Amino acid sequence: MSPFHRHAIHRRKSSILIQPQGQPELPAPAAAAAAAMTLDLNLTNIQGDILIGMKKNKEKFFFFSINDRKIFKQRLKSGAKFITTTTQLVDVNKQPAAMVNVAFSQTGLQAMGFYHFLNDFHFSGGQFREAAELGDPGTDQWVGTFRGKKVHGVFLLASDSTTVIDAEWAAVNQLFGSSITELYTLSAEARPGDQAGHEHFGFLDGISQPAINGFTANPAPGQSIVAPGRVLLGRDGDERMLGRPSWAKDGSFLVFRQLKQLVPEFNKFLRDNPLLLPGLTPEQGSELLGARMVGRWKSGAPVDLAPVFDDPTLAQDPMRNNNFDFSYPGEDLASNQTRCPFSAHIRKTAPRADFRSGNPEHHIVRAGIPYDPEVSTGEAAANATQQDRGLAFVAYQSDIDEGFHTLQQRWANTVEFVHNKTDPTPGFDPIVGANNGQSRFVSGLDPSDPDRDFNLVVDFVQSRGGEYFFSPSISAITDVLTADI
């Protein structure tokens, strides 16, 4: 019996994926299959987490190193049929008890005997050496496991219950035995009750994802449509494939970052700095400040369409909640910040009309999930974080430089971006922009005085490090990576 054998007593009761109102709908299995046929996308060969971009109910990340190449490869080959595919994850009836996906770092591929250059220098060098480039204050706050290059891979397990995940992990562990060492585990889950789908600051997440041509059957109005090769290597739109080995086709680079969020400190900042527009209470002014920092209200409604008051009905309507591009006829896109600040998180990371038309290249599929507990009453009262919590950030792309790295370094951390604004200089992304631990200025947050700079002395999001991984296709695992070499 395979150690991946599904335990009869550990059954999934609901979908592995959650779908709060306002997030794009899961493609219907038949529609996804039909769309994939037109572009010959083999959804049974693509790991499930890559294209779907929806929130999981519970998820655990198991980071490991490989001790015994030969045994590891034998066991991976025998267990590969249990790696969850896109076809399975997209269909609640076909979903296994727990999703199992696997991805390898550059050193992990080497530990398996593969020294091929995947034509992505961020992946080859690993994330640790890029800490300063990404704006991290150093690596002292990095989780020890991520310091250096010791992580060879990560298993991603997701389900609707932690018991099911743990039972599945016990089976995976039994399969690999001493051929791997579990280095570090991060447990994550959707937040409780009506906060499901919201990240720890309280904002609905996972609303704007690129529609993938050949997979997303019905893109929503305003949704960017990208070629599959922006996410999958070797597909139409992947401009680096010529320099990659053929087995890399249908895989994707997985950027992992453990991003700690200082929630009580963030809330205090909002409380202390309400935007006192006429007609707003201080509480409303604080909500507005948070909304302008993100570019969306906590409900998910975009400030570009709801600039002063939240609009929960708009937030819940996927046909409208992405249908904006910051431009309005008769208004100057280079100077107008009455609706959305240039520095807002969603404008910095997806500049829409501010940037080249359609912006086909700088897209990522985000598959992150909140980790660790809700803010305690003690932490809220003290306005101080005592327990690490945040976002287990996961992003898929075929080119880390054009994807995550551009979004973080060239956009969120670059004060002049978005370029070509007449005045003032936008400043840092107030949510994820980073300045190597030094304070960050942000302009445009106050609609009555867009020149007013806010000086953020606290990083509300702090990096605890991560790694760059490659999530190979199932056939690459069975036919190439596990071959005896």
Tokens for 63, please give them.
């980071």
Tokens for 312, please give them.
């929960």
Q: Give dist(CA 461, CA 137) in Å, integer.
A: 12
Other beta carbons less than 10 A from residue 14's beta carbon: 12
Tokens for 135, please give them.
């704006």
DSSP bridge pairs for 396: 254, 365
User: Nearer to ligand HEM by C-beta: 89 or 364?
Assistant: 364
Half-sphere exposure at residue 420, Cβ-oriented, CA atoms within 13 angstroms: 8
Q: Give dist(CA 203, CA 295) in Å, integer.
A: 10
Q: How far is the CB of 141 from ligand HEM (least distance, A)?
A: 14
* Closest to 104 in 3D by CA, of 72, 78, 79, 135: 72
Letters for 237-276 (x = contact with ligand HEM by CB under 6 A, - = none) are: ----------------------x-x---------------
Q: Given the rule CB under 6 A, which of 27-35, 188-196, 403-411, 441-449 is the region that contacts ligand HEM?
A: 403-411
User: Nearer to ligand HEM by C-beta: 315 or 477?
Assistant: 315
Q: How far is the CB of 176 from ligand HEM (least distance, A)?
A: 31
Q: Give dist(CA 321, CA 223) in Å, integer.
A: 10
Q: Does 344 bind ligand HEM (CB under 6 A)?
A: no
Q: Give dist(CA 22, CA 5) in Å, integer.
A: 36
Q: Given the rule CB under 6 A, which of 54-62, 81-89, 388-396, 466-474 is the region that contacts ligand HEM?
A: 388-396
Q: Given the rule CB under 6 A, which of 26-34, 115-123, 404-412, 413-421 is the region that contacts ligand HEM?
A: 404-412
User: Nearer to ligand HEM by C-beta: 96 or 197?
Assistant: 197
Q: How far is the CB of 389 from ligand HEM (least distance, A)?
A: 10
Q: Give dist(CA 111, CA 148) in Å, integer.
A: 15
| Residue partners of 140: CB distance under 8 A and separation at least 6 | none
Local structure of 158: helix, strand or coil:
strand
Other beta carbons less than 10 A from residue 147's beta carbon: 14
Q: How far is the CB of 124 from ligand HEM (least distance, A)?
A: 20
Residues 183-212 that bind ligand HEM (CB under 6 A): 199, 201, 203, 205-208
Letters for 278-317 (x = contact with ligand HEM by CB under 6 A, - = none) are: ----------------x-x---------------------
Q: Does 231 bind ligand HEM (CB under 6 A)?
A: no
Total chain residues near ligand HEM (CB under 6 A): 26
Tokens for 96, please give them.
């296994």
Residues 458-477 that bind ligand HEM (CB under 6 A): 461
Q: Does 443 bind ligand HEM (CB under 6 A)?
A: no
Whether 205 is catalytic: yes
* Closest to 3 in 3D by CA, of 89, 85, 118, 100: 100
Q: How far is the CB of 18 from ligand HEM (least distance, A)?
A: 14
Q: Give dist(CA 389, CA 204) in Å, integer.
A: 17
Burial class (CB in 10 A: 0-12, 13-18, 19+), 396: buried
Q: Given the rule CB under 6 A, which of 176-184, 329-337, 343-351, 468-476 is the region that contacts ligand HEM?
A: 343-351
Local structure of 182: helix, strand or coil:
strand
* Closest to 273 in 3D by CA, of 434, 457, 421: 457
Q: Does 79 bind ligand HEM (CB under 6 A)?
A: no
Specify whether the CB–CB gap between 469 and 253 falls below 8 A.
yes
Q: Does 18 bind ligand HEM (CB under 6 A)?
A: no
Q: How far is the CB of 211 from ligand HEM (least distance, A)?
A: 11
Name the residue with tokens 């500049």: 351
Q: How far is the CB of 245 from ligand HEM (least distance, A)?
A: 27
User: Nearer to ligand HEM by C-beta: 107 or 408?
Assistant: 408
Compute the 3-state secondary structure of the chain and give helix, strand, coil in percent, each to the nearest 5: 30, 20, 55
User: Nearer to ligand HEM by C-beta: 241 or 289?
Assistant: 289
C-alpha separations of 135 from 60, 437, 455, 465 in Å: 27, 8, 17, 11
User: Nearer to ligand HEM by C-beta: 76 or 394?
Assistant: 394
User: Nearer to ligand HEM by C-beta: 88 or 337?
Assistant: 337
Q: Given the rule CB under 6 A, which of 59-67, 162-170, 214-222, 405-413 is the region that contacts ligand HEM?
A: 405-413
Tokens for 167, please give them.
């039972």
Which is the catalytic residue, given 205, 354, 429, 459?
Answer: 205
Q: How far is the CB of 437 from ligand HEM (least distance, A)?
A: 17
Q: Does 365 bind ligand HEM (CB under 6 A)?
A: no
Catalytic residues: 205
Residues of this chain that bind ligand HEM (CB under 6 A): 199, 201, 203, 205-208, 259, 261, 294, 296, 345-346, 349-350, 364, 390-391, 393, 404, 407-408, 412, 431-432, 461
